[in-house]
Amino acid sequence: MSAPLRTPICDLLGIEYPIVSAGMGGVALAELAAAVSEAGGLGTLGLAAFGREAIISEIAAARARTQKPLAANILIPFLRPGIVEAIAATGISALTFFWGDARDHRAEIAIAHRAGIKVIWQCGSVDEARWARAAGVDIVMAQGFEAGGHVRGTTTSLVLIPELRDAIGDLPLLAAGGFADGRGLAAALALGADGAVFGTRFLAAQEAAAHPAYKQRLLAANATDTLHTTLYDLGWPDAPHRVLRTDLVERWEAAGRPASGSRPLEGLVSARAQRADLEIPLVNYTVMPPTDYMEGDCGGLPHYAGHSCSLLHEIIPAGDIVRRIATEAQTVIEKRLLKLISH
Ligand SMILES: Cc1cc2nc3c(=O)[nH]c(=O)nc-3n(C[C@H](O)[C@H](O)[C@H](O)COP(=O)(O)O)c2cc1C
């Protein structure tokens, strides 16, 4: 009988399994993050562009559901003064940053470190990972091109993970992009990562705040239904992202892919979001994905999804996803990989 799967990242973060749910802006909220953490992974709150009050109340809501380690994620382009200080005061265990040069954010990293928070930096290239290391982050997160949501680089996970491992020495490394099950986790570990981050997989969890119709589309889709584009640019221009090809995307393609300003149904407010201190009219082509706290028609919003949507077959509780990934990775290593060298 083998010991349960553990990597150095488990001790560093105080978690049972090297399984992390991605910080997904507006859809990875308290219920999802807490469920992942409670099951032994690291649940991440996708706080993206939330204001101070919303951040504090979301973290408190997650904390009310679990006493286990939790992470928060913020996007550098939306970082406002005082936000990192506010998060640092909440007792969160880890903070994931995305979309920036870590060397320009040593002050924020220091604030997190003073509060005992581990800093994770999501990177899409070797250069970014080197900069993150130089800035003193605790964990580098490799994001492969097949990832859902905003995609920083152009190299897929199979090459990016070992490339980053070679570049950062023995600094802890997480792998994101294309992972949906225990086979993926075992592969990430084989490539040099200390754990894997799952975004699209947890988007289809019962607790994710994604709109029910969006979850159904994810189940029906496969990798070839995704598109890497800069189409959904209102609120965050020139930032490539991977989305599902919806009716609106098809209309835009049929119209010859017109530039921003002259796209089909542009300027139309079709949906409205309401949550905490948030009350936003949602114009088509905005960055906000369809959520279960929206009213109206979400067809004009980005249905972010990674290639890993090919591997989703059901919507189940996040805790079951964590346990299944852990069990399957263990089985893959024990029954498949170890067998190859023990005959
Ligand atoms: C719906 C959605 C929203 C996302 N939002 C964010 C975000 O707010 N901040 C961030 O750092 N990454 C975000 N990402 C990217 C994830 O951090 C991660 O790189 C990605 O989910 C990994 O690929 P996968 O979807 O194949 O698991 C998002 C991804 C998805 C699918």
Query: Is the same domain home to 197 and 330?
Result: yes
**pLDDT tier at 238, thresholds 50, 70, 90:** very high
CATH code at 198? Answer: 3.20.20.70
pLDDT in tens, 107-153: 999 999 999 999 999 999 999 999 999 999 999 999 999 999 999 99
- CA 31, CA 23: separation in Å to the nearest integer? 13
In a domain, 285, yes or no: yes
Please give the distance, rounded to the nearest whole angstrom, from the Cα atom of residue 342 to the centre of ligand 1: 38
Please give the distance, rounded to the nearest whole angstrom, from the Cα atom of residue 262 to the centre of ligand 1: 28
In a domain, 331, yes or no: yes
Query: Is the same domain home to 259 and 288?
Result: yes
Residue 49: the pLDDT is 80
Side-chain-facing half-sphere of 89: CA atoms under 13 Å: 9
* Pocket probe mutation, ligand 1, options 19, 20, 21, 24, max atoms within 8 Å of Cβ: 24
What is the tally of structural domains in the chain? 2
Residue 102: the pLDDT is 98
pLDDT in tens, 305-334: 999 999 999 999 999 999 999 999 999 999
Query: Is the same domain home to 61 and 187?
Result: yes
Checking if the pLDDT of 75 tops 90, the result is yes
Q: Could you identify the atom of ligand 1 that is nearest to the CA of residue 201?
A: 27
Q: Could you identify the atom of ligand 1 that is nearest to the CA of residue 47?
A: 8
In a domain, 2, yes or no: no
**pLDDT tier at 275, thresholds 50, 70, 90:** confident
257 is in which domain, residue-wise? Answer: 212-308
Q: Could you identify the atom of ligand 1 that is nearest to the CA of residue 242?
A: 31
For residue 49, give both structure tokens. 């562009």
pLDDT in tens, 2-49: 888 999 999 999 999 999 999 999 999 999 999 999 999 999 999 998
Q: Could you identify the atom of ligand 1 that is nearest to the CA of residue 305?
A: 31
Pocket lining for ligand 1, CB < 6 angstroms = 22-25, 27, 46, 48, 73, 75, 96, 98, 122, 143, 147-150, 176-179, 197-201, 203, 289, 304, 306, 308
Please give the distance, rounded to the nearest whole angstrom, from the Cα atom of residue 190 to the centre of ligand 1: 22
Q: Could you identify the atom of ligand 1 that is nearest to the CA of residue 307?
A: 26
Please give the distance, rounded to the nearest whole angstrom, from the Cα atom of residue 25 to the centre of ligand 1: 8
Taking residues 72-79, what's their average pLDDT? 96
Query: Is the same domain home to 176 and 162?
Result: yes
Residue 257: the pLDDT is 97
- Supply the pTM of this predicted model: 0.98
The residue whose CA has the least distance to atom 11 of ligand 1 is: 98
Query: Is the same domain home to 140 and 241?
Result: no
Query: Is the same domain home to 159 and 267?
Result: no
Query: Is the same domain home to 37 and 70?
Result: yes
Side-chain-facing half-sphere of 120: CA atoms under 13 Å: 31
CB atoms within 10 A of CB 27: 27
In a domain, 1, yes or no: no
